[in-house]
């Protein structure tokens, strides 16, 4: 989207994943949207203190801008995990191992490329199958013409994208609505925008050419 002066505005998708022992927020949007984020969570009956984990897929401003609103949560920022008053938790993410939030259901995996420490949240056994909240690994559905321009390492990102396409039934990109991955029309890589309810998308879409 574009701001009042017609310039691109970066505004990352925010996704709430709730159920079982974990209430996770994937990315937090930019600091300019903090009150809106709190309002959207309140509409879903979630107070900041109820969020157990905040997963920031990478460190750009439109994804980490409201971390301070969730001081009691475990923070996963890229491959770094902290909790409490800055206690560093060994995650194994930097070595390519998943960081498990809820066994057999939720885990964070390394998906480098957009940034070197980029991660994604994998949610298994959902009503839609395996959903991957992928941050800027995917800018939006049908982003083939643009994602490389924002990538620190396009070769690594392409490998990460292929790996996620092979595992996911639904992908939540960093700047747009969820979309399905269809394999019966030619294998991994066929994409279709997800129709219907997208309530867990509490963020906005990046304007064309937006930074980060």
pLDDT in tens, the chain (212 residues): 444 455 455 678 999 999 889 999 999 999 989 999 999 999 999 999 999 999 999 999 889 999 999 999 999 999 999 998 889 999 999 999 999 999 999 999 999 999 999 999 999 999 999 999 999 999 999 999 899 999 999 999 999 999 999 999 999 999 999 999 987 654 455 555 444 333 444 333 333 222 23
Report the pLDDT value the prediction gives residue 23, as an integer from 0 to 100. Answer: 98
**Structural domain contains residue 73:** yes
Domain interval for residue 28: 15-193
Global pTM?
0.83
**Structural domain contains residue 38:** yes
Give the C-alpha separation, 86 to 212, whole Å: 26
Answer whether 59's CB lies under 8 Å from 36's CB.
Answer: no
**Structural domain contains residue 7:** no
**Structural domain contains residue 96:** yes
**Structural domain contains residue 10:** no
Give the C-alpha separation, 81 to 211, whole Å: 25
**Radius of gyration in angstroms for the set of CA atoms belonging to the chain, rounded to a whole number:** 16
CATH number at residue 137: 3.60.15.10
Domains of the chain: total: 1
**Which are the contacts of 202, defined by CB distance < 8 A and separation ≥ 6?**
13, 14, 15, 16, 29, 37, 40, 41
């Amino acid at each position: 989207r574009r701001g009042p002066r017609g310039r691109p505005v970066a505004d990352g998708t925010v996704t709430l994943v709730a159920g079982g022992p974990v209430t996770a927020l994937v990315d937090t949007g930019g600091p300019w949207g903090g009150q809106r984020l709190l309002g959207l969570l309140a509409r879903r009956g979630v107070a900041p203190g109820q969020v157990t984990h905040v997963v920031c897929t990478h460190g750009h401003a439109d994804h980490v801008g409201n971390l301070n609103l969730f001081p009691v949560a475990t923070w996963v920022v890229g491959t770094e995990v902290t909790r409490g008053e800055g206690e560093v938790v060994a995650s194994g993410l930097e070595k390519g191992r998943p960081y498990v939030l809820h066994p057999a259901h939720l885990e964070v995996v390394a998906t480098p490329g957009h940034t070197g420490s980029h991660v994604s949240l994998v949610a298994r056994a959902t009503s839609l199958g395996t959903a991957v909240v992928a941050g800027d690994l995917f800018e939006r559905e049908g982003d083939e013409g643009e994602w490389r321009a924002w990538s620190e390492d396009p070769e690594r990102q392409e490998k990460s994208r292929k790996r996620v396409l092979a595992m996911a039934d639904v992908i939540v990109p960093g700047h747009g609505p969820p979309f399905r991955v269809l394999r019966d029309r030619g294998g991994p890589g066929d994409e279709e925008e997800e129709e219907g309810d997208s309530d867990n998308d509490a963020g906005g879409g990046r304007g064309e050419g937006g930074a980060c």
